[in-house]
Structure 1
Amino acid sequence: MPAPTTTRPKLRAAAAANKLPLTATFLLLLPLGFVATHRAFSGGVVAVSASVAEERHREERVLLDGDNNKDSNADAAAVERHCAGTLHRDVCASTLATIPNLAQKPLRDVISDVVARAAAAVRASSSNCSSYLGRPHGHGLRLRDRLALSDCLDLFGRTLAQLGTAADELSAGNRTAEESIAGVQTVLSAALTNQYTCLDGFVDPSASEDGRVRPYIQGRIYHVAHLVSNSLAMVRRLPQRRRRRRLLEGYGRVRRDGFPSWMSAADRRRLQQQVVKADMVVAKDGSGNFTTVSDAVAAAPNNSEARFVIYIKEGGYFENVEVGAEKTNLMFVGDGMWKTVIKASRNVVDNSTTFRSATLGQSPALHCMHSFSLWLTWRSATH
């Protein structure tokens, strides 16, 4: 006999009062056996679904861990490979370990990353040295220490420019591989020398009480030197074509005509000319544009891409000439050996640092801050 029509509304009301879901409300109207069976079946579906999801998650985690292990092993092998032949392997390994996806990077990109870290270390060293000079009244620093710190700041600026040039050369696509590698080796070698030149300006702590600054700055500077040294070692492993060219000590590979391989055709022609056209003339008697070499250098263009020739007439010029890093592509032409002479009297005895006296084989009176900013020659010149 069918249930009274009032039964269903009562059941719905009861379901609502107990906050039963709509499916449960519907199931209440079905036979109890069917309801029990449906509940068991639904629970089984939920349990199976959860089990499948967990298993899939475990499989994905295993695959991911496996990929990570493979990447880690590949990166470790890349560190071992790239650091082979470097002088400071611990520094090399710790540096390369911070480079993501190392195993997938070509060697040029790896070197670029090391150069970038060297530049960051140079900026840190520069800030450290500036903090000493910025203290009130030099904080008891001796004159020699202040001069040495000032030299270091100049050298750091030069080093940053050289590291920037190295980075550009490594990414340049408009030069041959051999030219690019030679350029990188040149600027990195100069950057490495700068760090030891900086430290040479301080008195040895074991020999004098003046050495109170060096112990506090040398750690950062040595770190820069080690980074640059390692990058230079890796550059030597870059592939390059072998050419039959002679090696000239101090100049690298040379052409058959005796000029370095990196010298442009225009510069070779200029040096072979008997008469060189001057852009500016220095003469003590006032017959030129300037009477001192320093004034001529100051008036020369900054960051010039073309060669700028300064003709220095016969005479003795008693001055310390500073050629800044921004004075690129300068060429000095004189009237001959012992005719055009630039000289000064700076020396270590009077508290001048090595950097400011006899610098890297140049005349003590002529101090150049850029690797490619100064050429010296003796020719006839016109203007």
Structure 2
Amino acid sequence: MESFTCSKFPSCYSLAIIITLLYFCTTTTCLPTRLLVQQSPVKSNPSSTEFIKTSCRVTLYPDLCYNTLSSYASTIQTNPTELANAALSVSLNEAKSTSALVLKLSKGLELRPREAGAVKDCVENTRDSVDELQQSLQAMKDLKGPEFEFKINDLQTWVSAALTNEDTCMDNFEGNGMNGKVKDTIRGRIVRASQLISNALALINQLNQ
């Protein structure tokens, strides 16, 4: 029988080259660059998170400030305006959630007259707070320009009013004879919303320093 040689089958040279390449490609040097990049750990930006932590020290609730804003570090970077804007957004989301809860409680429970009146007033208070925070966020989009002082004063006024409305809501439940469960449920949400708004106001005040 005639012996098998590559000289009689030119295509086997190509096969030999492919086998050689496959052997060398078992090492990482032959991996596509895209795959190598994916294997590298994603590096965080410590300057952004440190900026947020340092800035939050001017607030009354620095831990809450950092915990709620650190996830926005990639957007905030080291920009005070973006920091204040993020704080306002977080406050607005909490205020909306609180307002929805109070409204639900006002419709789903059998309350005594005084309790019903307190919850009804709280519905209005939290709704006003949401409106004022929405105006504040809108104002944040146009702070630059020659009227900066005027605009920042309006912004501070709206956020302060939102904070006052949250506090007024809680004042309605002072005294004895109120449903303890309803009072505690609303108090827990109002306290958190007030703290977030307070933090946002402190960060906004820093823009005018």
- TM-score range with shorter-chain normalisation? 0.7 to 0.9
Cα distance in 2 for residues equivalent to 1:123 and 1:190: 15
The aligned residue for residue 172 of structure 2 is 201
The aligned residue for residue 51 of structure 2 is 78
Q: Please give the secondary structure, in 1, of the residue aligned with 2:31.
A: helix
| Matched residue type, 1:128 | L
Cα distance in 2 for residues equivalent to 1:50 and 1:180: 64
* CA displacement 1:272-326 (0-9 Å, x = unmatched): xxxxxxxxxxxxxxxxxxxxxxxxxxxxxxxxxxxxxxxxxxxxxxxxxxxxxxx
Contact 2:102 2:186 in 1 (8 A): yes
Q: C-alpha root-mean-square deviation of aligned residues, in Å?
A: 3.0
* CA displacement 1:23-77 (0-9 Å, x = unmatched): xxxxx78447988876544312223245323374574246x52xx3242x23321
Asked if residue 164 in structure 1 is aligned to residue 140 in structure 2, the reply is no
Contact 2:6 2:13 in 1 (8 A): no
The aligned residue for residue 152 of structure 2 is 181
Contact 1:74 1:103 in 2 (8 A): no
* CA displacement 1:179-199 (0-9 Å, x = unmatched): 222111111111111111111
| Aligned with 1:234 (options 188, 197, 203) | 203
Please report the TM-score for the alignment, with normalisation by the length of structure 1. Answer: 0.48
Contact 1:75 1:102 in 2 (8 A): no
Cα distance in 1 for residues equivalent to 2:194 and 2:147: 28
The aligned residue for residue 48 of structure 1 is 24
Larger radius of gyration: 1
Cα distance in 2 for residues equivalent to 1:58 and 1:119: 41
Higher strand share: 1
Please report the TM-score for the alignment, with normalisation by the length of structure 2. Answer: 0.82
Cα distance in 2 for residues equivalent to 1:193 and 1:76: 30
Contact 1:203 1:211 in 2 (8 A): no
Asked if residue 223 in structure 1 is aligned to residue 197 in structure 2, the reply is no
Cα distance in 1 for residues equivalent to 2:188 and 2:206: 28
Cα distance in 2 for residues equivalent to 1:191 and 1:185: 10
Q: Provide structure 1 residue ranges, at least 5 long, that are not aligned to the other structure.
A: 1-27, 241-383
Asked if residue 210 in structure 1 is aligned to residue 181 in structure 2, the reply is no
Which has the higher relative contact order, 1 or 2, with Cα contacts under 8 A spaced 6 or more apart? 2
Contact 1:144 1:202 in 2 (8 A): no
* 1:221-370 equivalences in 2 (<5 Å): 221-240=190-209
Cα distance in 2 for residues equivalent to 1:129 and 1:194: 13
How far residue 153 of structure 1 moved from its aligned partner, in angstroms, is: 1.1
How far residue 112 of structure 1 moved from its aligned partner, in angstroms, is: 1.7
**Percentage of matched positions with identical amino acids:** 21
| Matched residue type, 1:127 | A
Cα distance in 1 for residues equivalent to 2:186 and 2:146: 38
Cα distance in 2 for residues equivalent to 1:41 and 1:186: 76
Q: Provide structure 2 residue ranges, at least 5 long, that are not aligned to the other structure.
A: none
How far residue 107 of structure 1 moved from its aligned partner, in angstroms, is: 1.8
Asked if residue 150 in structure 1 is aligned to residue 120 in structure 2, the reply is yes
Cα distance in 2 for residues equivalent to 1:41 and 1:170: 64
How far residue 226 of structure 1 moved from its aligned partner, in angstroms, is: 0.8
Q: Please give the secondary structure, in 2, of the residue aligned with 1:129.
A: helix
Aligned residues: 205
Cα distance in 2 for residues equivalent to 1:127 and 1:166: 20
The aligned residue for residue 37 of structure 2 is 60
Cα distance in 2 for residues equivalent to 1:81 and 1:134: 43
Cα distance in 2 for residues equivalent to 1:116 and 1:175: 25
